[in-house]
Structure 1
Amino acid sequence: MSQWRELHEGWTLQVVGEADGVPREVADAVVPATVPGCVHTDLLAADLIPDPYLDRNEYDLAWIGRACWRYATSFDWTPDGSDRVDLVCDGLDTVATVELNGEVVATTQNMHRSYRFDVGGRLREGRNELVVTFASAQAYAERLRDELGDLPGPNSATPEPFNFIRKMACNFGWDWGPVLVTAGIWKSIGLHSWSGARLARVRPVVDVDLGEQRDVATAGRVRVLADVEYAGPALAGSDGDSGAAGGGVKAGLTLTASVAGSRAEVEVPAGATSAEVELSVDNPRLWWPHGHGEQPLYDLAVELSGGSEGTLDGWSRRVGFRQVQLDTEPDDAADPEAGSAFTLVVNGVPVFARGANWIPDDCFPSRVDAARYRARLQQAKDAHIDLLRVWGGGLYEQDTFYDAADELGILVWQDFLFACAAYPEESPIAEEVEAEARENVARLMPHPSLVLWNGNNENIWAWFDWGWQPKVGDRTWGAGYYLDLLPRVVGETDPSRPYWPGSPYSGSMDRHPNTDEHGCKHVWDVWNQVDYSVYRTYVPRFVAEFGWQGPPTWATLTRAVHDDPLAADSPGVLSHQKATDGNAKLARGLTPHFPEPADVEDWHWSTQLNQARALTVGIEHYRSHRGRCMGTVVWQINDCWPVTSWAAVDGDARPKPLWYALRKVYDPRLVTVQPRPEGLTVFLVNEGLTGGDNGARAGGVWRTDLAVERRTFTGEVLAHWSTSVSVDPAATASVRVPVDVATTTDPSREYVLVVAGDRRTTWFFAADKDLAYPAPEWDVEVTADGPATRVTVTARTLVRDLALFADRLDPAAGVDDMLVTLLPGESHTFRISGLTRPVDVAEVSGRPVLRCANDTVSPAK
C-alpha cells in the first residue's frame, strides 16, 4: 500500500539575488515559513512588513513581487522498501526551481496544476535538504511577453502582463483588487512512496435515468475511468513480454469500485495504462440545488489491487446522482437567429439561476481553509443564491470549496482561467494550458454541484468590441483554446457536463457575443455609463455579470483605512477604490436618486443603499421576465480584501446592505411592481419551492390574495384594489394595476403598497431626492435574548429601508435583517449577535447605528 508523508515543517524563507527596494532587514533575514503559505504571509508573521491590506501599504510592498525567494527545509529519510518515491507538489506559485540535496529536480511555471517527480534516486538515508526557489512572476511574464510579442488586454486597472503566465490573474491587480504578486508553496507538498502500480487519475462519469417521481431516479450509473501508472518495468506474463508502458507488477491487476451498495471489478490487462469499470445503482436519490430537493451524497471507493501484492492504491470521493444539461435550443427552428435559450436543466427541470460571481476570497489563497469556504458559501445560500460562477481571473478553487457546494446545494459554474486579455497559444503557454485543464477537469468532476465549464471571461467579447483585432492581426489570441482545445478536453475527460466557450457568448462567432437574444450576457454600460434604471431596457436570456459598487461596512473600512480626517476621497479610501473613476461613478449614480451627501457617513450610507437599490431594480426586472430570462449572476458575492467594490459580503466577511437586498430579491417567491408600456404591473414569481427539500413540485402552486393600494406617506388610502392569484411552480403571473391605483396625484407624497399573503412590496413614483419624506420618527426598545440583543423599532412615521448597523456598536456584532420598510404604527425587531458589551436605547436610536432612506432627504428630528 502506498504511504504519504507531508513535508510541511521546518521551512525557512529568505530573499535571494538582487532586487530593487528590498529593505535591509528583509535582505539579511532568514525567517520561519509556513507551508502551505506564501511570501507575504511569512514576512507579515515575522513582523518584517506591515499588513498589505491596510492604508496604502500595498504600494510600499511592490518589491516583493520583483524579488526571488528561497524556501528551504531538511528532513530525515529512511528507505521504506517502496519501488518508487515521488515528491508531490500540489501547488507551486509559480516560477519555481525544485532542488533535492543540491540537484535540480525540476522547474515549473504554473500555479494552477500539481507536479509529481520521481526522487527515489536522489533521496539519501539520513538528512535531506529540499529547496524551492521562486523567481519573480512579474519578470517571467514580462520576459515571455517580449519573446512572444505583446497582446492586448491589461489596462490601467490591471497593467501587468498576467496573460503571459499561468498564475492567478487578479494577483496582478484588478478593478477591485490590489497588486500583490505572490510566490510560495501554496498547497500541500510531500513524499509519496508506492510500489507496483498506482491510480494516477480516476474519473467518475455519473448518469441517471429519470423516473416520474422527482426525488429518485429509476437507475443510476457510475462509469469509473482509471489511469494506471507503474513503478518499474512491466511484467506482462509467463512469456516474458514486457507489454506497453512500465510495470513492476505481475499480470493480474484488479480495479474494483463500489458505491451505494453496488460493487464491480474488472481485470486490468498486463501493462495496460487505463481501465474502466461500471456500477449500476437502483433508484438512487437525486441530488438537487437547494430548495429544489435534497443533496444526498454517496461514497465512491476505487481500489487497485495486485493479486498476492494485495491493495496497491485507493481513491475515494463523494458523488451525487443527478443529470444536467444546458438548453440552447432556438426559439424557432426555422429561424435560428430569432433567439435561443440559455437555461440550465437539472434532473429534467429548467432552473432559474439566482446566482453571484465568486472571486478568490483572499489575495493569499492559502489562508482560505475549509471553514472559511463553508462560511462564505453558507452566506450565499442564506441569501437564496443557488449558483456561484467561479470567475476566470481567479483560481480553480480547492476541493473543500466544491465539497461545501455539494453539501449546501449550490450549483457551480466554473470558468477556465482566462480573463479580460488576449492569451498566446504558443509554447510554453499552450502546453501548460492543456495540462492544467486536463488535471482540473478530472479533479473536479466528482462534484455534483459543478454543472458548467466555461471557456473564458469576456475575451470573445473583447475580440469583437475592445479594438483587439487590428492589434492582434494574424497572431493567436486564445480562440483556439475556447473553441477547440477546451471543449475537446471536456469532451474527452468529463462528458457528463456541458461546455460553453465564453461569457458573454452568443453561441456563434458569426454573431455579436453580447446580445439579448442568444447565450449569456454581461451588462456593464449600467454602472460604467448610465443609470441603473437602464437595466429595464434589456431582456437577456441569461445575465452572467452585472453589478453596482458600494463601500465596505464601516467597521471594515475603518479597520483598513486610518485617514484623519476620513473622507470619500481621502488617500486611504481612494487606495481601496480600484475601479477607473470609481468614486466619480458612485457620485454619478447617486445624483439621480439621492441628495449630495453632507459628510462621509452620509456618503457611506447613501452609496451602500444605492448599491442595494441598483441590484434590486435589475434582478426584479429580469425575474419578471422568467421564462425568457433564466438566470441572473450578480457581480459579485465576495471580496478578497477591504475595498469599495461590487461585493455583497465585504473583505472582512461582513454583509453589506446589498446582501440583505439579495436575500429579499432572490426569495423563491417574489412580488415586484414593474413599469410596463401598458402600465404598472404586479408580477408574482414562483420558483415552485414547497418549503421541504423532497425534490417534488407537487404542492408548489402559490395561491394568494393580492391587495394593491395607493397611499399617502401619512397612511391615508387613496385607492384600493384586490384579487386572488394562483402561480404555478416555476412560473410567473402578472396583474395589471388598475389605473386609479396606479395613477398618482402627487408623486412626491404617494406610493403603491402591494400585499400578497405574507409578502409585500412598494412602488414609489419619484426618486428619493424628490420625495417629501417625513422626518423619520420611531420608538426603540432594547431587550436581552440570551447571547443576542433584540432591538424593536416602532415607527411613528413612514420609514423606508430601515437599517441597523450593528458594527457601529461593536465590530464583532452582526444583525439578522436590514432594509425594512415600516408603515406608521408598525414594529420590527432586529436581532443583534456577537456584541461583546451591553448596549442601551440611546446608542441604537439614531445615526450612525439606525439609518433609513428618509434621513438622506429629511433628517430625523
Structure 2
Amino acid sequence: MVTRTELHDGWVLRSESPSKIGEREVPATVPGSVHTDLLAAGLIPDPYLDENEAKLAWIGRTDWRYETTFHYSAAGDTRVELVCDGLDTVARIELNGHEIASTANMHRGYRFDVRAALRDGENTLSVTFTSALAHAEEQERLLGARPHVNAHPYNMIRKMACNFGWDWGPVLVTAGIWRPIAIEEWQAARIAAVRPLTSMDGRAEVHVDVERTGDEPLTVVARIGEHEVRSDLLPGAGGTVLRMELGDVDLWWPRGYGAQTLHPMEVSLSTGDTWRGEVGFRTVELLTNADDDGTEFTFRINGERVFVKGVNWIPDDCFPHRVGAERLRERFGQALDAGVNLLRVWGGGIYESDDFYALADELGLLVWQDFLFACAAYPEEEPLRGEVVAEARDAVNRLAAHPSLIAWNGGNENVWGYHDWGWQEQLGERTWGVGYYTDVLPKIVAELDPGRPYLPSSPYSVSEDLHPNDPAHGCTHIWDVWNDRDYTAYLEYEPRFVAEFGFCGPPAAATVKKAIRDTPPAPYGRRMTAHIKADDGNRKIARRLAEHFQDVRGFDDWHWAAQLNQAHAVSTGIGHFRSLTPKCSGTILWQLNDCWPVTSWAVVDGYGRLKPAWYALRASYADRLLTIRPDAVVAVNDTAREWAGELRVRRVRLDGAEVADVVLPLVVAPRSATTVPVDPAGGLVVASVGEVRAFAFPDGEALPEAAFDATAEAVDGGYRVTVTARSVLKDLTLLADKVAADGVVDRGLISLLPGESAVFAVRTAARFAPELLLAADVLRSANQLV
C-alpha cells in the first residue's frame, strides 16, 4: 500500500537574490507561483493590467526560495519518497539542510528517496528556484545559440515556452511548485505506471510497470467490471502485461458520432497498491494515402472517418495552477457549444492536467497532443536530450489510458522553420531537433503507446521529399492569410487538412475596460498596444480593416470592426474548407482561448468572454451547413442521417426587393457535401433549407442604413431583446458585456431581411434599465460600418 501525505501547507517565500521585495518573507500557496504569491501579498500589481507586465520583468530574473516544515514519524521498513509532480523549473531541493536533488524540467514529475534525510518530528523542506531565464541564457552560451521566434532562448530549457512571451502572450517568466508535492511511503513494491491499450473488439492489453525494493513474488490483478485477469511477477521482474477479452462492449466515440462509454478499471498489486481509472474501447487510425489530389490526412475512429472540427488550445492562464476542473469545464463547454470535436494541445504550452484529459474523455472531445517543441531549433545534446526522453516517457505513461487522445505530434512548426525561416545558415552543423521528431519520440510512442498515430511535426506533408507545408499533402498551416493577405484568400486554397489558420481581433469590451485603461480609449493607445503581441499587429489590423470597412470612427467603431473582421475570416475559412469535404478532412482554428487579456486569434478572450468570432465558429461548425459560392450553394451534412429537403435560393437587392426565388430539391448523404449550381447573377444571395440558411452579400456595395424596431425586457435570469428589421441587416450582434460585464448572449451575427425578426436572450445577474441594451454601440450591425 502507498500512503500519500500532501505537503501543501505552511509554505513561505522569499527572494534569494537582490529583488524589489528585499528580505521580506511572504506566505506561499502550493501548488502555486511566485507571481501569484506576490500578488496575494499585495507586493505587485496585477500583471494582466495595463503595462504591468513590463514592470514585473524583474521577477523572472530573481532566484526564489520556498520553505515549509512538516511532522514525520518513522514507520518500520518503509521506502519514503518525496514526490514532486511539477517544479517550475530550475530547482534545488533540500531536506533538513541536506541537498536531495536538483531539477531543470517543468514538464515532468520526480520522486526522490528521502528516508535518510528525514527526522522523527519536525522537518524543514526547501525548494530554491534559480531564474529560468538566466539558466536558459547560460545553456545557450554553453551549447551554442539556435534560432527561435522570441526575445529569449526558451528552446534552451524544458519549460512552458510561452512564459517567455509569444505573439499573443506576455513575458512572465514564472517559478514555483506548480503541481502537487507529497511524501509517499510504501513497502516492497508499488505500481509505477498503468497503460491500458484497448481496441473496439473488446480486447485490452494492460501494461503495468512496478517499482520494487526486493525480490519477493508479486501478483498483479486487473479488473474491468466483472472481468478479472491476474499475473504473477517473478522475483526481480519490473512489470507485466495482462490481456483481457471482454467480448462485445459499448464503444467510446467522439461527440457527434456516438456515446462516450467509459469502463471503470482497477489494477491492484499484492502489496495493497491500487490504480483506478477509466478506459474506453475504440480504435484510431490516421490515413495518409496518396490519391489524385495529393496525400490525404484523415482520422478514422472505430473504422469511421471523422471530419475534424477543431480548435488549438493554449494554456488557459500564464499561471496554470489557477486552471482547475471548474474552469476547464467552462472552457470545454464553450468549445462544445461551438460545435468543436477536437482540441489540439499546442507545443509551446504544457502537458495539461489529469482533469483536462478526463474531461475530454467524458465529453467526447478528441485531443491531439503536441510534444512540447514550438517554433525553434532545439539542441539534441545533454543535458536537454535526457530531459526530453524523461518528460516524453512521463507524458506517454500518464496519458495513454485516455481514449480522447488520438494523436501524438512531434512539435509545432519546427521542421517548417528549418526549411523556410533561414535557420540552416544560422545553424551550420549544430543540431536542431530533427532527431527528436524522427527517432527519439516515435520510438517512445511505439514502445509505450503503439495504438496511437504519431506525426513528426505540424505542418506535415507525410514525405520528406515534399515541402513540409504543402497544402496538397497531409496537414498544413495557413499564415500568409492575416500576415500578408486578406481572409478572402482562403478561397484560393484546397487543403487536405488545416491544423492552423486564424485572424486577429480584440477581446470583449468588458475585458478591454478592465485590463486596458487608456484615457481616452484608443485603438492603438500605449496600453492597448501593450496588449497586442502580434508582429506588426496594429498595422496588420489597420490594413485588414481598410479592405472591408469605410466608416470606422473612434474606438467603439474600431473595436466592433476589428471583431467583425475576425468573425468574417473564421466564417470564410471554415465554410470554404468544409465545402471541400471529403478532399479536406478537417480544420483546427487558431485558437480557442487566451492566457490573459490580449488582442489575439482567440474566439474566447483571456477573461473567458465570447468574442463575435465565437458565434462565427459555432455557425461554421454546425452539423448542417450551407455555404455560398458565386455559382453554387454547397450543403454540408456532418451527421449520420441523410439530409433531404428543399433548397430555396433567393436573390435580393440591398433595398430589400426580391429579384429571384428558386426552389430546388436537395439530398445530402451522411458525412458528405453536395454542390448545387445556381445562377451566378449578382445581388444578395440567401440560401435556406428549413431553419438552416446562409447569406452572401455582394462585394463592394454599401449597406443601407440600419432600420429596425427593437424592444428589451427583463426576464428570469436576464433580459430578452427582440429586433424586427425594416431594412436588410447584416451581422446583427448584441454586445451585452458593454452593459453588464457578466452578460452572455445566446446568439450573434444574425442577418435579417425586411420584416424578419430575431430574439436575443441575455444571461446576467446584473439589474439595469433594459433600454441600455438598445444603444447604438451595444446593438451593433455591419450596416454601421459599410
Same fold, judged at TM 0.5 (above): yes
What pairs up with 1:220-231 in 2 under 5 angstroms? 220-231=202-213
Q: Secondary structure at the match of 1:296?
A: coil
What pairs up with 1:37-116 in 2 under 5 angstroms? 37-116=32-111
| Aligned 8 A contact 2:191 2:208 in 1 | yes
| Aligned 8 A contact 2:133 2:152 in 1 | yes
CA distance in 2: counterparts of 1:845 and 1:274, whole angstroms: 67
Aligned match of 2:186 in 194, 199, 205? Answer: 194
Query: Displacement of 1:496 after TM fit?
Result: 1.2
CA distance in 2: counterparts of 1:661 and 1:304, whole angstroms: 51
2:308 paired with 1:316: no
2:286 paired with 1:326: yes
2:663 paired with 1:709: no
Aligned match of 1:658 in 613, 632, 646? Answer: 613
What pairs up with 1:236-635 in 2 under 5 angstroms? 250-251=216-217, 253-305=218-270, 311-331=271-291, 339-635=294-590
Aligned match of 2:668 in 714, 720, 727? Answer: 727
2:88 paired with 1:122: no
CA distance in 1: counterparts of 2:384 and 2:739, whole angstroms: 51
What is the aligned length?
786
Residue in 2 aligned with 1:778?
708
Query: Displacement of 1:296 after TM fit?
Result: 0.9
CA distance in 2: counterparts of 1:613 and 1:221, whole angstroms: 47
1:239-295 alpha-carbon deviations (Å, 9 max, x no partner) = xxxxxxxxxxx32x1110011321111111112111111111121111111111110
| Aligned 8 A contact 1:196 1:312 in 2 | no
Residue in 2 aligned with 1:763?
696
| Aligned 8 A contact 1:362 1:368 in 2 | yes
CA distance in 2: counterparts of 1:752 and 1:339, whole angstroms: 33
Structure 1, 30-39 or 714-723: larger mean CA deviation: 714-723
CA distance in 2: counterparts of 1:636 and 1:195, whole angstroms: 47
CA distance in 2: counterparts of 1:833 and 1:844, whole angstroms: 12
- Partner letter of residue 211 of structure 2? E
Residue in 2 aligned with 1:681?
632
2:22 paired with 1:27: yes
Aligned match of 1:795 in 700, 703, 725? Answer: 725
CA distance in 2: counterparts of 1:261 and 1:730, whole angstroms: 37
Unaligned stretches of 5+ in structure 1? Answer: 210-219, 235-249, 306-310, 333-337, 689-696, 745-749
CA distance in 1: counterparts of 2:315 and 2:684, whole angstroms: 42
Aligned match of 1:751 in 674, 681, 684? Answer: 684
1:377-432 alpha-carbon deviations (Å, 9 max, x no partner) = 11001000001100000000001011111111111000000000000000000000
Structure 1, 183-192 or 793-802: larger mean CA deviation: 793-802
Aligned match of 1:850 in 767, 779, 786? Answer: 779
1:431-488 alpha-carbon deviations (Å, 9 max, x no partner) = 0000000110110111111000000100000111001111112221000000000000
CA distance in 2: counterparts of 1:535 and 1:424, whole angstroms: 36
Q: Secondary structure at the match of 1:793?
A: strand
Identity percentage of aligned residues = 52
| Aligned 8 A contact 2:373 2:411 in 1 | yes
2:746 paired with 1:816: yes
1:527-583 alpha-carbon deviations (Å, 9 max, x no partner) = 000111111111111000000000000000110011111101111000000011101
Q: Secondary structure at the match of 1:354?
A: strand
- Partner letter of residue 14 of structure 2? Q
Residue in 2 aligned with 1:246?
none
CA distance in 2: counterparts of 1:10 and 1:840, whole angstroms: 49
Residue in 2 aligned with 1:138?
133
| Aligned 8 A contact 1:206 1:222 in 2 | yes
CA distance in 2: counterparts of 1:82 and 1:315, whole angstroms: 23
Aligned match of 2:757 in 827, 842, 859? Answer: 827
- Partner letter of residue 258 of structure 1? R
Residue in 2 aligned with 1:244?
none
| Aligned 8 A contact 2:712 2:774 in 1 | no
Structure 1, 708-717 or 559-568: larger mean CA deviation: 708-717
Q: TM-score, normalised by structure 2?
A: 0.99
- Partner letter of residue 9 of structure 2? E
CA distance in 2: counterparts of 1:168 and 1:482, whole angstroms: 18
1:100-122 alpha-carbon deviations (Å, 9 max, x no partner) = 00000000000000000001111
Query: Displacement of 1:848 after TM fit?
Result: 1.5
CA distance in 1: counterparts of 2:747 and 2:662, whole angstroms: 30
1:622-645 alpha-carbon deviations (Å, 9 max, x no partner) = 111011110110100000000000
Residue in 1 aligned with 2:172?
180
Q: Secondary structure at the match of 2:317?
A: coil
- Partner letter of residue 177 of structure 1? G
Residue in 2 aligned with 1:670?
625
Q: Secondary structure at the match of 2:392?
A: helix
- Partner letter of residue 755 of structure 1? S
Q: Deviation above 3 Å: which 4+ runs of structure 1?
A: none
Query: Displacement of 1:17 after TM fit?
Result: 2.3
1:482-520 alpha-carbon deviations (Å, 9 max, x no partner) = 000000000001011000000001112221000122111
| Aligned 8 A contact 2:714 2:770 in 1 | no
| Aligned 8 A contact 1:82 1:193 in 2 | no
CA distance in 2: counterparts of 1:625 and 1:560, whole angstroms: 41
CA distance in 1: counterparts of 2:677 and 2:386, whole angstroms: 58
1:719-756 alpha-carbon deviations (Å, 9 max, x no partner) = 22111110000111000102xxx312xxxxx3111111
| Aligned 8 A contact 1:671 1:761 in 2 | yes
| Aligned 8 A contact 1:227 1:273 in 2 | yes
CA distance in 2: counterparts of 1:764 and 1:832, whole angstroms: 28
CA distance in 2: counterparts of 1:353 and 1:13, whole angstroms: 46
Query: Displacement of 1:785 after TM fit?
Result: 2.6
- Partner letter of residue 666 of structure 2? V
Unaligned stretches of 5+ in structure 2? Answer: none
Query: Displacement of 1:784 after TM fit?
Result: 3.0
| Aligned 8 A contact 2:262 2:278 in 1 | yes
Query: Displacement of 1:82 after TM fit?
Result: 4.8
Q: Secondary structure at the match of 2:117?
A: coil
CA distance in 2: counterparts of 1:163 and 1:817, whole angstroms: 42
CA distance in 2: counterparts of 1:582 and 1:722, whole angstroms: 45
Q: Secondary structure at the match of 1:779?
A: strand
CA distance in 1: counterparts of 2:54 and 2:717, whole angstroms: 42
1:742-799 alpha-carbon deviations (Å, 9 max, x no partner) = 312xxxxx31111111111111221xxx323221122222233322211111111111
